[in-house]
A and B are shown apart, each in its own frame.
Chain A
Amino acid sequence: MSNLVGIVNYGTAGNIYSVSKALQKAGAEVVVINTPEDFRKVPRIVLPGVGSFKEGMAELESDGFIDSIQAFEGPILGICLGMQILSSLGYEHGQTKGLNLIKAEVKLMQCNGKLPHVGFNKVDVIKESPLFKNIENELFYFMHSYEVIGFHDVLATATYLEHMFVSSVSKENIYGVQFHPEKSRKAGIKLFENFLEIN
């Protein structure tokens, strides 16, 4: 089976370096996707993400990536902002349409406390999935102020200051994680290994 994975390069802030490094550690051969044609070269893609919903979508649009992602048939893994923009609608710096692959909206975290939510936090897997195979009660690294709201396709939750929120979603070939596997020690590498095994 191919261990190729494409990382979608959009925006000035993409943490492509960190994500590539961790995917390689998990055994992947990484291809950076810079043009819509590049999507054809890989069996699966990762949508990394740092920055805001609005800017992220604007970058995807100007790069001409939106159709390619929506039409992509292989496994897709969105990370942090990359998961949030899978949703229908975002409310960061005004309303912005998302990729509409997951039926959900993205709003400021509804908690009484400091934001962003930063640090290692336990992820509670609530639905069996190949993405979390052999991952139980692990800590993952979070760094975000916004959350996905909509409980249709939830794989896992997490709790920050008594506020439970969605930490992972999936629907058919699409997966999303609010945390950063590339920054989550061995558990994160394990999750990437699992993703590489999904066909």
Chain B
Amino acid sequence: MSTRIIAKLDVKPPYVVKPVHFEGLRKVGLPNEIAAKYYQQGADEIFYIDIVASLYQRKILLDQVEQACSDIFVPFAVGGGVQTLHDFSELFHHGADKVVINTHALQINPNIIDEAAKCFGSQAVVVNIESKRWDNWSECYSDCGRIRSGKNVLDWAKEVESRGAGEILLQSVDHDGRQRGFDLELAQKVVSLVNIPVVVASGAGKPDDVLDLIKIAQPSGVAIASLLHYDKSTIKELKEYLRTNGVEVAL
């Protein structure tokens, strides 16, 4: 089975931005242009996260979502400010294949995971975990890495699996945007703990970082942002590099 190489777009409408530690935003471009570019390069999926929707307490902007996926023919996962089954439904009708949820499920109503899985199927429900490392544990954060939850990442990962989530997007507040490698230890723990696919994000600064992650943690997918945004590598180059080093990828 090939490891999925996923392009992650953090969107602060109307732009794709690149935060560092989830803050200090830089503009990268317009979502439809960036999504089309990474699709052409061979991305296996595109993740589109409206990173300020929850923080600003507004709904995700559906027109933007629809525009962003107009030229891509790979799976498109969308998240940001999702609170109700109606939100899920609206996103599916505007081009999302999977919906990504964090804040509302983590802080207010975890039952939304069960309900969404029952209604739309587990495969369509992705739980985003924003992890922050403390001395000997990792904590789940929400609202784009700003609000604590007190929940242990490992407990929450297990819980969302049992509630019916079909996939986990594991991000790291500490590693995000620093381009110095992934939180390998946590990635390895989460991947081996749950029996659903885990996509690991936050940390790729060079192709070797991605290779290390795949070799050590064996996630189902790797989500990449900075590495692509700064044109340090294209998805095609990255995949070729991974294949050369013995990783099965869809080329």
Binding site for B on A (CB under 8 A): 12-18, 21-22, 25, 50-52, 55, 81, 114-121, 139, 141, 143-145, 160-161, 180, 182-186, 188-189
Mask for B61-98, Cβ within 8 A of A = 1, else 0? 00000100010011110000000010011001111010
8 A-B pairs with C-beta separation under 8 A: A18-B95, A116-B166, A118-B220, A119-B4, A121-B2, A139-B2, A139-B250, A144-B123
Q: Among B23-31, B114-122, B147-155, which stretch is in contact with chain A? A: B114-122
Q: Across the interface, which residues of A come within 8 angstroms of B2, CB to CB?
A: 119-121, 139
User: Known pairs A12-B119, A18-B95, A120-B44. 8 more at Cβ < 8 A?
Assistant: A15-B92, A50-B121, A50-B124, A51-B119, A118-B220, A139-B2, A145-B123, A182-B73
Q: Across the interface, which residues of B come within 8 angstroms of A143, CB to CB?
A: 75, 97, 123
Q: Shortest distance in angstroms between A115's beta carbon and chain B's nearest beta carbon?
A: 7
**Interface presence of B1 (CB below 8 A):** yes
Q: Shortest distance in angstroms between A162's beta carbon and chain B's nearest beta carbon?
A: 10
Q: Shortest distance in angstroms between B187's beta carbon and chain A's nearest beta carbon?
A: 15
Mask for B198-219, Cβ within 8 A of A = 1, else 0? 0000000000000000000000
Q: Across the interface, which residues of A come within 8 angstroms of B3, CB to CB?
A: 119
Given A21-B70, A119-B250, A143-B75, residue A183 in contact with residue B119 (CB < 8 A): no
Assembly CA distance A169 to B73 (angstroms): 23
Assembly CA distance A97 to B163 (angstroms): 26
Q: Across the interface, which residues of A come within 8 angstroms of B120, CB to CB?
A: 12-13, 50-51
Given A13-B119, A143-B75, residue A119 in contact with residue B221 (CB < 8 A): yes
Q: Across the interface, which residues of A come within 8 angstroms of B195, CB to CB?
A: 114-115
Assembly CA distance A188 to B72 (angstroms): 12
The reply to whether B1 and A185 contact each other, CB–CB distance below 8 Å, is: no
Smallest Cβ-Cβ distance to B44: which chain A residue: A120
Q: Across the interface, which residues of A come within 8 angstroms of B92, CB to CB?
A: 12-15, 17, 50
**Interface presence of B170 (CB below 8 A):** no
Smallest Cβ-Cβ distance to A182: which chain B residue: B73
Assembly CA distance A15 to B220 (angstroms): 23
Given A114-B195, A119-B1, A121-B2, residue A13 in contact with residue B89 (CB < 8 A): yes
Smallest Cβ-Cβ distance to A25: which chain B residue: B73
Smallest Cβ-Cβ distance to B249: which chain A residue: A120
Assembly CA distance A146 to B63 (angstroms): 33
**Interface presence of B183 (CB below 8 A):** no
The reply to whether B1 and A15 contact each other, CB–CB distance below 8 Å, is: no
Q: Across the interface, which residues of B come within 8 angstroms of A119, CB to CB?
A: 1-4, 44, 220-221, 250
Smallest Cβ-Cβ distance to B94: which chain A residue: A17
Smallest Cβ-Cβ distance to B167: which chain A residue: A118
The reply to whether B73 and A114 contact each other, CB–CB distance below 8 Å, is: no
Q: Which of A21, A121, A188 has the most CB of B within 10 A?
A: A21
Smallest Cβ-Cβ distance to B98: which chain A residue: A143
The reply to whether A22 and B73 contact each other, CB–CB distance below 8 Å, is: yes
Assembly CA distance A118 to B98 (angstroms): 12
Q: Shortest distance in angstroms between B48's beta carbon and chain A's nearest beta carbon?
A: 14
List residues of B (144-178) whose CB comes within 8 Å of A's CBs.
166-167
Smallest Cβ-Cβ distance to A22: which chain B residue: B73
List residues of B (103-136) whose CB comes within 8 Å of A's CBs.
118-124
Assembly CA distance A61 to B66 (angstroms): 30
The reply to whether B197 and A114 contact each other, CB–CB distance below 8 Å, is: yes
Q: Shortest distance in angstroms between B89's beta carbon and chain A's nearest beta carbon?
A: 5
**Interface presence of B17 (CB below 8 A):** no
Mask for B1-38, Cβ within 8 A of A = 1, else 0? 11110000000000000000000000000000000000
The reply to whether B167 and A189 contact each other, CB–CB distance below 8 Å, is: no
The residue that B4 contacts in the complex, of A25, A114, A116, A118, with Cβ under 8 A, is: A118
Q: Which of B44, B121, B195 has the most CB of A within 10 A?
A: B121
Smallest Cβ-Cβ distance to A161: which chain B residue: B1
The reply to whether A17 and B93 contact each other, CB–CB distance below 8 Å, is: yes
Q: Shortest distance in angstroms between A182's beta carbon and chain B's nearest beta carbon?
A: 7
Assembly CA distance A117 to B220 (angstroms): 10
Q: Across the interface, which residues of B come within 8 angstroms of A188, CB to CB?
A: 73
